[in-house]
Structure 1
Amino acid sequence: MVVFNYFIELFEKSDLIIEFVWFLIAMLLFLVITIIIYLKYLRSTLRRNEKSKNKLEKEFETAIITYLYAGDPDSKEISSDQLLIIEGLKKGTSKSYRKDILIATMLKLGYEISGEMAESIDKLYIQTGLKEYSLSKLKNKKWNLIAEGIRELTLFEVKEVQHLVKEHLNHPKSEVRSEMQLYLVNLFHFKGLDFLNEIKTPISEWDQIQLLEVLQLYKTQEISDISSWLKSSNESVVFFSLKLAKIYNQYGVKEELIALLQHPNVNVRVEAIHIISHLDIIEAKNELKTNFNTLDLEEQIAFFAMIEETYELADKPFILDNILNPNFEIKYSALKILKELSLDEFNSFKDLSLDPQFIKIINFVESN
């Protein structure tokens, strides 16, 4: 007590600045203690929630497995035992977080089984009212819940709500658009690509890769007509359509591909040249040769890569015109082609220039 009174007296006799410092120290000490208590409470709460979640998961898993084996394998009707389980799950999922745990448990079990049992889980998802729960997320203002709802509808293969999912076609959040696109392609395959006729927002490169991976799981499906997508004002749709043209060898859209050589975006034009080369559309060669000097450098390089695969004797005058092209790649490509077309004329260029770089290219092409 004497020590405490001593400190009080010392504090009262101190300068104002020292009193202020002591006050700050006391406040900081109070905040630190408060934070420590709060963190301990938070950790305790998280542990309780985790235990509760694990307990629920085990209960739901047991109920689902029991449901799967309680049915009559020779009948499509729901048995009385299954009805009791459905009612129990409905009562046990009155709160949203319980519904989320049940959905996660269903999906986990769905990954581990296949065939009729997997279909039974999809039916249980509907019978327990979880489909309506997922659909309610589509009306939520939070974008992450909308994306989550669409993902659930995809995984449980709910096809009849396509029109509701497509309402988010041009959602401002790319994550929602990505889930919407995957829903359509996963459930409707090539027919699901009809959204390309309406989409105004860009399709990211990652989304394009994902869509192509899903489509290639269904190789027996007949691809949709992509000609209108190649004319789209949405450049990402055009790029995606070019990928489709290459993967599925869409020679039937050659007119649309040739028309893309006049596209305002140079990257589209370059990609179109690559696809034209891949599909061996010879009709485009003359147009590209005629307009070669007006092409961007990227297009010129892409065109020479195309000629390397499709050269013929009639191309020799054009090749000779570009033997001394200032661009290294074009010059190298022209010399390679000339060597194949006419070895004598190729040899005649050995003494044409004293440029050391040109001589190195000649010697390299000659030895390979």
Structure 2
Amino acid sequence: MNEFEYLIDNFKQLPVLIKIVWILSGILGVIIINLVIYLKYLRGYLRNKEKIFAKFQSEYEGELINYLYASEEEDATKLKIVKKMKTCIKDKFKRKIFLTVLSKLKNDISGEMADSIQHLYVESGLIDYSLAKLKSSKWDVKAVGIKELALFEITNVYSEISKYKDYPKQEVRNEVQLYFVNLFQFKGLDFLNDLITPISEWNQIQLLEILQKFDDQQITDISPWLKSENKSVVMFALKLAKIYNQFQVINILLELLAHENKDIRVEAIKVLSYFQANEAKQILKNNFINSSIDEQIAFFNMLEGIVETSDEDFILENVSHENFEIKTLALKLLKFINTDRFNSLSLVASDVESKAIFNYLEDN
């Protein structure tokens, strides 16, 4: 006790700053000890949870295999498994494990077995939990619910899913769009008709990848989407026009050359170039001076595929263009349609940049 009182007395005699340091050190030491204890507990808890997860996962995989391979004469076996699964999924942790196993199997197999898994998803009651997620106030839970319904091909909830196509959170909208196209292919693109919110560039790519898996599908009329007030819908429709060779929309593409959005104008030029639409040439020439650099470059790239000797005067007007890429393209086209004129300009070229371009084009 005397030693403790001695330490207290010594502490009282210390300068204030030293006292503060000691107190803070003591508090920090207590916090560190508590953190170490908590981390040890958490590590043990997670390891134990992993063991339990692996145990139930193995058990459910076995049950599902039995369910899938049970013959028609073994309906009693199937009913027993369904009954067991209905009981298991009442527990949130077990439900998560069962859904994980079922999802993995659904991704790995096809045909009749895939239909059996879809049937089990419905019969076990998992579908009810997915539908309940749609009503959650948390956007990420909604997105998961839509993703699950898409994975297990639940088509009869189309109208319910449609409510979220313009949802404020992009992640939810992405899942809605993937649901439509995965389950209804080109018919699923009807959501574009009155879509208000933008489609992300990444989701446009995903939607196109899904559609290209269905070669036997008849593409719907994309004209209304090219005229949409939603700029992202127009951009997506332009991609569809190019991929699926929609030559019948060329007149609408020509109208898009005057669209208020520059990116749409540029993309329209690229699609018209792909179609080698000569109808666009004169329009683009007339508006060339007032066009953006991106549009001008796109037009010169277009000319590479449809250039004619009658374009020489226009090309000559741009062989000294301030933009290096346009200047190079113009000289390249000139060399193609009139080599003599190209060579004569090469001889009088004086600036370093022009000489470099001529030297490059002469060797290529």
Distance 1:35 1:348, change over 3 A: closer
Name which of 76, 82, 85 aligns with 2:81: 85
Q: Does 1:68 pair with 2:79?
A: no
Q: Does 1:36 pair with 2:32?
A: no
Displacement after TM superposition at 1:353 (Å): 4.4
Q: Does 1:334 pair with 2:330?
A: yes
Q: Deviations over 1:303-342 (max 9, x none)?
A: 1111111012222222233233333322322222222222
Q: Deviations over 1:76-122 (max 9, x none)?
A: xx811111111111112212232221111111223333321221111
Q: Does 1:222 pair with 2:218?
A: yes
Code of the residue aligned with 1:284 in structure 2: it is: A
Distance 1:24 1:350, change over 3 A: closer
- The 2-side partners of 1:261 and 1:132 are apart by 49
Displacement after TM superposition at 1:205 (Å): 1.2
Distance 1:279 1:4, change over 3 A: same
Partner of 1:47: 47
- The 2-side partners of 1:63 and 1:363 are apart by 73
Partner of 2:192: 196
Partner of 2:138: 142
Name which of 263, 286, 303 aligns with 1:307: 303
Alignment map for 1:2-13 (pairs within 5 Å): 2-13=2-13
Code of the residue aligned with 1:258 in structure 2: it is: L
Gaps of 5+ in 1: none
Q: Does 1:172 pair with 2:201?
A: no
- The 2-side partners of 1:85 and 1:10 are apart by 74
- The 1-side partners of 2:142 and 2:54 are apart by 26
SS of aligned partner of 1:146: helix
- The 2-side partners of 1:336 and 1:37 are apart by 73
CA RMSD of aligned residues (A): 2.0
The question of whether the paired residues in 2 share the 8 Å contact of 1:166 and 1:180 is answered with: yes
Q: Does 1:284 pair with 2:275?
A: no
The question of whether the paired residues in 2 share the 8 Å contact of 1:71 and 1:82 is answered with: no
The question of whether the paired residues in 2 share the 8 Å contact of 1:185 and 1:214 is answered with: yes
Displacement after TM superposition at 1:2 (Å): 4.5
Displacement after TM superposition at 1:22 (Å): 3.6
- The 2-side partners of 1:61 and 1:170 are apart by 38
Q: Deviations over 1:337-366 (max 9, x none)?
A: 222222333333344543343344334333
Normalising by structure 2, we get a TM-score of 0.93
Q: Deviations over 1:181-222 (max 9, x none)?
A: 111111111111111112222211111111111111112211
The question of whether the paired residues in 1 share the 8 Å contact of 2:106 and 2:152 is answered with: no
Code of the residue aligned with 2:259 in structure 1: it is: H
Q: Does 1:345 pair with 2:341?
A: yes
The question of whether the paired residues in 1 share the 8 Å contact of 2:56 and 2:97 is answered with: yes
- The 1-side partners of 2:337 and 2:20 are apart by 92
The question of whether the paired residues in 1 share the 8 Å contact of 2:256 and 2:268 is answered with: yes
Distance 1:63 1:356, change over 3 A: closer
Partner of 1:101: 97
- The 2-side partners of 1:201 and 1:367 are apart by 50
Distance 1:357 1:15, change over 3 A: closer
- The 1-side partners of 2:219 and 2:206 are apart by 17
- The 2-side partners of 1:10 and 1:100 are apart by 60
Q: Does 1:265 pair with 2:250?
A: no
Name which of 346, 357, 364 aligns with 2:360: 364
- The 1-side partners of 2:353 and 2:88 are apart by 79
Partner of 1:111: 107
Distance 1:111 1:324, change over 3 A: closer
Gaps of 5+ in 2: none
Normalising by structure 1, we get a TM-score of 0.92
Alignment map for 1:7-26 (pairs within 5 Å): 7-14=7-14, 18-26=18-26
Partner of 1:57: 57
Q: Does 1:232 pair with 2:228?
A: yes
- The 2-side partners of 1:192 and 1:7 are apart by 79
Partner of 1:205: 201
